[in-house]
Amino acid sequence: MLLSRRTLLTAAAALGGLALSPRGVAAATRLRVGYIPIIPMTQLFVLLGEGWARDAGLDLQTTGFQSGPAMIQALASGTLDVAYVGIGPAMIARSKGVPVKIVAANIVDQVALIGRGPLAQAVAGAPSPAEGFAAFRRAQGRPAKIATLPAGSVPETVLRYWLQEVAKVPAAEVEVIGMGEEHVQQALLSGAVDGSSILEPILTVVRARLPDARILVPAGQLFPRQPGAVVAVTENAIARERDAVAALVRLHVRATDFAKREPARTAEHVGAYIGKGLIEPEVLQRALTSDATTLVADPRGIVEGTGRMQDFQQRLGQLASPVDLDTLFDFSFYDAASRS
Q: What domains can be seen in the chain, in order of their start residue?
A: 27-108+227-339 (3.40.190.10), 112-217 (3.40.190.10)
Gap between the Cα atoms of 196 and 184, Å rounded: 7
The predicted pLDDT at position 6 comes to 41
Question: Mean pLDDT by 10-residue block, N- to C-terminus, for the chain (340 residues)?
Answer: 42 41 62 95 98 97 90 91 95 92 97 98 96 98 97 94 97 96 94 97 96 95 94 97 98 98 96 86 94 96 96 88 94 94
CA distances from 1 to 6, 8, 335 (A): 15, 13, 57
Q: With b meaning 16 or more CB within 10 Å and e meaning fewer, what string describes 177-210?
A: bbbebbbbbebbbeeebbbbbbbbbbbbbbbbeb
C-alpha 156 chain-centroid distance = 13
The predicted pLDDT at position 18 comes to 40
The predicted pLDDT at position 150 comes to 92
The predicted pLDDT at position 68 comes to 85
The predicted pLDDT at position 266 comes to 97
Closest CA to 201 of 228, 187, 179, 181: 181
The predicted pLDDT at position 72 comes to 86
The predicted pLDDT at position 21 comes to 41
